[in-house]
A = this chain, B = another copy of it.
Amino acid sequence: MVRVLAVERDRYPGLKDLDIQIVGIVTGSRGSVANEAGVDLVRALLELEGEGRFSIRNPDFVEMEGLQAARQLDYDVLVELTPLSIEHRGEPAISYIRSALERSRHVVTANKGPFAFAYRDLTSLADSRGVQLLHESTVMDGAPILNMARHALKGCRILELEGILNSTTNYVLSRMEEGLAITDAVELAQLQGYAEADPTLDLQGWDAAAKICVLANAFMEADLNPSKVERRGIENVTIGDLQEARARGDRLKLICRAARREGGGVSAKVSVETVPAGHPLWSVSGTGNALRITTDLMAPIVVVQDNPGVKDTVYGVLNDLITVAEGTNETSK
Binding site for B on A (CB under 8 A): 11-15, 18, 141-144, 147-148, 151-157, 277-280, 282-285, 292, 296-309, 311-312, 315-316, 318-319, 322-323, 326
Contact (Cβ within 8 A) A154 B306: no
Chain A binding site: helix, strand, loop or mixed by DSSP? loop
Smallest CB separation, A294 vs chain B (Å)? 9
Known: A278-B285, A306-B302. A296 touches B154 (CB 8 A): no
Contact (Cβ within 8 A) B280 A306: yes
Contact (Cβ within 8 A) B306 A299: yes
Contact (Cβ within 8 A) B302 A14: no
Please tell me how many copies of the chain the complex holds: 2
Smallest CB separation, A149 vs chain B (Å)? 9
Query: Could you pull out 10 A-B pairs where Cβ atoms are within 8 angstroms?
Result: A14-B157, A147-B151, A151-B152, A152-B319, A155-B319, A155-B322, A280-B306, A283-B283, A297-B315, A299-B309
A280 proximity list for chain B (CB < 8 A): 280, 283-284, 304, 306
Residue of B whose beta carbon sits closest to that of A307: B299
A301 proximity list for chain B (CB < 8 A): 143-144, 303-306
Complex-state Cα separation, A300 to B148, whole angstroms:
15
Contact (Cβ within 8 A) A143 B305: no
Partner of A11, one of B11, B282, B296: B296
